[in-house]
Amino acid sequence: MVSRLSSSQSPLSSSIPPNVTRLPASVTDLLCCVSHEISIIENELTIEEISPLLEDAIDDGFMVVDLGVLEKKLKAWHLLFSPLLHNHNKYDNKNERSDSYDYTVTPYFAVKCNSDPIVVEWLARTASMMNLPLGYDCASIAELEMAKVQIQKYSLEKTGDSYKINNQNNDDDDDNRIFNKRNIPTTRIVYANPQRAEADLMHALELFATMKVNSEKESDDSSRLPLQQSREELWLTLDGVSEVYKIAAARKLFLEKHNTLQIPKVRIVLRIWVPDKHSRVPLGEKFGMRMEEINNIVETCLKSEILAEDIIGISFHCGSGCSSVETYYEALEMGRKALLTIDNRLSQYYRKEEEENQKKIQQKLPESQKQYKRHRCWLLDIGGGFPGIDGLHGDDGRFSAISKEENATDLLKKTVTAQDTQTTVADIAIAVAPVLQSLTNHKHKDEDKDSLSLTLIAEPGRYFVEGAVALASRIYQK
């Protein structure tokens, strides 16, 4: 059972939903909070209100979640990883190095880390109210369904689109600058389980399917609702050839079964293996292809009717609770090489296709006039693994109704104190910033400067929930 609690000073808690409890001022820490919850169950609820679930909670233990911490974590993430969104002094302070950074890393919360519906919804609600980019990394159909509902409910696909900088209390003209957010994807779900059943893939396709336009019906019935919706995308990570066959089989099944539904566009993100030995939970045994397997897997995709243009990028995961900045460096370098490997392989493929076309129409162009399409991956997913400690003290005052609410700028001003010896997310974010910037700027030599730059996303799980959740358990014997 999860008890839902919100820090009373939270800026978003003014209109809290009925299933969320506001802490009274007498609650000052975790222990107070747990006693408060127990006393509500034991003393304040009527017999009818006490469900077997609540009774069990007292005996078996329960979790408390400080939703205010989730809010601070989302804010802290973007302060650390999305300089584009908060560089409000950009034009005043040209000499500061960080001012030249203009990327965003959209976090796709790994739902498996805490799939409590309130946690999933609270993040969506926060993202929507603060206009911060957020998505979900889902491992199962239930998670996909839950994420999809929240994305629709809070119009998440639009968050971060046009961002009023320092949006809280500043009316300065500068603060109304609207950035071009082409690097923030509108698809906010990635289905990232390494081994999915064919039936689940089929179900996922159905979940993102849209109605086909029915032209006959259209002319007959002028009062009908619009049937055409824009085609949705299903983003799938890919760890090996067996998944390619399953995706192909699921697509075939879908097309046989549904002639009124439009199949979603399947976008493929190849997941590579990266070193994970500095992590509390290494994941390298569970997923990730080796670099030398990339070409073969790309080949298999093409043979299985996955379009070259739908192979959009690379993802990796450094293992959960990664304490090494170097591991992220190494993984980013491997990611860069993997992106180039795909681009080169698929550019060769386009070239071969074009040459065959030219042969067919017996066109012989001089070499200087030949122009071949280039493949350009546009997504880099830097995975999860980030520690629970953000380095900005985002979970200070958790479970405390009297905790002082900070605004975004206060959070950023906080510095890591001398006692903080563990690697924090701030350490990682600061260290990899130049690499992320160079990756987003990266262009092939022959590309025009307006071509799309790399979009960055991540799949943090532990980062969001480790500090926000505590387990309360009865001690029967000492």
Ligand X SMILES: Cc1ncc(COP(=O)(O)O)c(C=O)c1O
Footprint on this chain of ligand X (rule: CB under 6 A):
110, 113, 137, 192, 283, 317, 320, 383-386, 459-463
CB 108, CB 186: distance < 8 Å: no
Helix or strand holding residue 315 (H, E): strand 311-315
Cβ-based nearer residue to ligand X, 27 or 127: 127
Number of neighbours of residue 361 by Cβ within 10 angstroms: 7
Give the distance, in angstroms, between the CA of residue 474 and the centroid of all CA atoms in the same chain. 35
Cα–Cα distances in angstroms (integers) from residue 377 to residues 133, 270, 372, 422, 451, in the given order: 21, 11, 16, 35, 11
Cβ neighbours of residue 447 under 8 Å, at least 6 residues apart?
374, 376
> In angstroms, what is the minimal distance from the CB of 317 to ligand X?
5
Say which DSSP state 303 is in: H
Q: Which lies closer to ligand X via its Cβ, residue 263 or residue 297?
A: 297
- Rounded to whole angstroms, the Cα distance separating 170 from 38 reads 42
Shortest distance in whole angstroms from residue 206 CB to ligand X: 22
Q: How far is the CB of 192 from ligand X (least distance, A)?
A: 4
Rounded least distance, CB 170 to ligand X, Å: 33
Q: How far is the CB of 100 from ligand X (least distance, A)?
A: 28
CB of 384 to ligand X, least distance (A): 2
Of 275 and 384, the one with the shorter C-beta distance to ligand X is: 384
Closest chain position to ligand X (CB): 384
For ligand X, which is the closer residue by CB, 187 or 320?
Answer: 320
Report the nearest approach of ligand X to the CB of residue 271 (Å). Answer: 8
Four-point Cα dihedral 129, 134, 138, 143, nearest 10? 10
- Do the beta carbons of residue 20 and residue 4 sit within 8 Å? yes
Between 12 and 236, name the residue whose CB sits nearer to ligand X.
Answer: 236
CB-nearer residue toward ligand X: 36 or 73: 73
In the complex with ligand X, the residue whose CB is nearer, 23 or 425, is 425
**Smaller CB separation from ligand X, 320 or 423:** 320
Q: Which are the contacts of 148, defined by CB distance < 8 A and separation ≥ 6?
A: 189, 207, 208
Q: What is the DSSP string of 412-453?
A: HH----TT--S--HHHHHHHHHHHHHHHHH---TTS-TTSPP
The span from the CA of 45 to the CA of 40, in Å, is 6
Residue 209 CB, nearest approach to ligand X (Å): 24
Q: How far is the CB of 386 from ligand X (least distance, A)?
A: 6
What torsion do the CA atoms of 269, 274, 279, 282 make, to the nearest 10 degrees? Answer: 70
Using the minimum distance from each CB to ligand X, give the nearer residue, 255 or 281: 281
Structure tokens at 464: 């969001």
Burial class of residue 238 in the structure, from the number of CB atoms within 10 Å of its CB (0-12 exposed, 13-18 middle, 19+ buried): buried
CB 178 within 8 A of CB 147: no
For ligand X, give the closer residue by CB, 154 or 386: 386
Minimum distance of ligand X from residue 282's CB (angstroms): 11
- Helices of type H across 175-240: 198-207, 215-220
